[in-house]
Amino acid sequence: IAERDATGQAPADVFIGVEINDVGTAERHDVFSPLTVVAVPNLAGVPEEIQLDRSGKLIPYEHGFITLVYDSQKMPADQVPRTFSDLLSPQYRKQLIVEDPRTSSPGLSFLLWTIAKFGDPGYLDFWRQLLPNILTITPSWDSAFDLFSKGEAPMMVSFSADHAYDVIVNQSNRIQVLTLDGEGYRTIYGMGMVKGAKHPDLAKSLLNIVLSPGVQSQLTETEWMIPANVNASARVIWWQNLVSPSKPVLLPTEQVSENLERWVNQWVNAILGG
């Protein structure tokens, strides 16, 4: 984006990996060109509920849910929090790892989840009450998961597919998923053709390939995300162990775009002391 704005030329024809919370940034910079099912036929297999951009400039290729996960060897199932209210209990003091919303996509999604749950500015009161139960706020998901894996805390903000990963890769049942109040915050990743692309036909073909059932079927056990194309397949063990919240949560992209900077700054001032 920065290079195109500086030189007026697109540094690439295709961009893959725009998270739904970044849609507003892409719109402000006018990065992508509109796409239709005529240009990308496999887009026909993507359900409306995960379309992340009404203009058609960004098309989804994978999605999932941000939830809490816990270490069942450190925390018995009958002692875990089931609601946001439970999570504030003193019994969970220093037992949660969260990621910084300024530098982590899961961290930002968790912040937005609390805004959807408690409103603005009610989310700040929730975070102030939650603070004693947070062990640390890490700069990334990787650093959070490293601490979690080492047993530094029994809970962290992560993905609802973590249990499936644990079962399939580690042949373990240790990582379990918590859908507080039955909820999870939806995360969607998109891709698009960069405006001014030098090879637009090849760009459209690549996007169509990424959305093809063959490629999409590889995402479950490589990206550990849900394929966007409903015609993709996955092993039974994946679907058996994937946790999908009964109440998916997602703030409108327009609302996020208009308020994101203020929300994050308010969070920094309230929780990190500026």
Residue 240 lies in a domain: no
State if pTM tops 0.85. yes
Listed residue (97, 92, 101) closest to 133, CA to CA: 92
Model pLDDT for residues 47-59, shown as the tens digit of each residue = 999 999 989 999 9
For residue 242, is it within any domain?
A: no
Q: Is 243 inside any structural domain?
A: no
Compute how many other C-beta atoms are within 10 angstroms of the C-beta atom of residue 66.
25
Res. 5 pLDDT band, cuts 50 70 90: low
Asked, as a colleague might, if the bond just before 121 is cis with ω within 30 of 0, I would say: yes
Indicate whether 18 and 101 sit together in one domain.
no
In a domain, 241, yes or no: no
Judge whether residue 64 has pLDDT over 80. Answer: yes
Whether 28 and 140 share a structural domain: no
Q: From residue 61, give the alpha-carbon distance in Å to each of 44, 141, 216.
A: 12, 21, 8
Query: Residue 79: phi, psi to the nearest 5?
Result: -115, 5
User: Residue 7: is its pLDDT beyond 80?
Assistant: no
Residues 55 and 176 in one domain: no
Q: Would residue 49 count as lying in a domain?
A: yes
Q: Are 22 and 104 contained in the same domain?
A: no
User: Which domain does 217 fall in, by range?
Assistant: 2-63+187-235
Is 51 in the same domain as 176?
A: no
pLDDT at 89: 98
141 occurs within a structural domain: yes
Domain count, the chain: 2
Residue 9 lies in a domain: yes
Strands 175-178 and 183-193: unpaired
Tens of pLDDT, residue by residue over 117-128, are 999 999 999 999
Q: Name the nearest CA neighbour of 267 among 156, 130, 65.
A: 130
88 and 120: one domain? yes
Same domain, 139 and 166: yes
Q: Tens digits of per-residue pLDDT, 212-224?
A: 999 999 999 999 9
Are 212 and 168 in a shared domain? no
The verdict on 181 and 264 lying in the same domain is: yes
* E strand or H helix that includes residue 3: helix 2-7
Residues 46 and 101 in one domain: no
Residue 187, Cβ density class (10 Å: 0-12 exposed, 13-18 middle, ≥19 buried): buried
CATH number at residue 200: 3.40.190.10
| C-alpha distances out from residue 141 to 13, 103, 203, Å | 29, 9, 31
Residues 162, 41, single domain; the answer is no
Q: How far apart are CA 249 and CA 46, in angstroms?
A: 19
| Percentage above 70 pLDDT, the chain | 97
The answer to whether position 26 is within a domain reads: yes
pLDDT at 1: 64
Q: 161 and 256 share a domain? A: yes
Tens digit of pLDDT for each residue in 87-131? 999 999 999 999 999 999 999 999 999 999 999 999 999 999 999
pLDDT of residue 3: 65
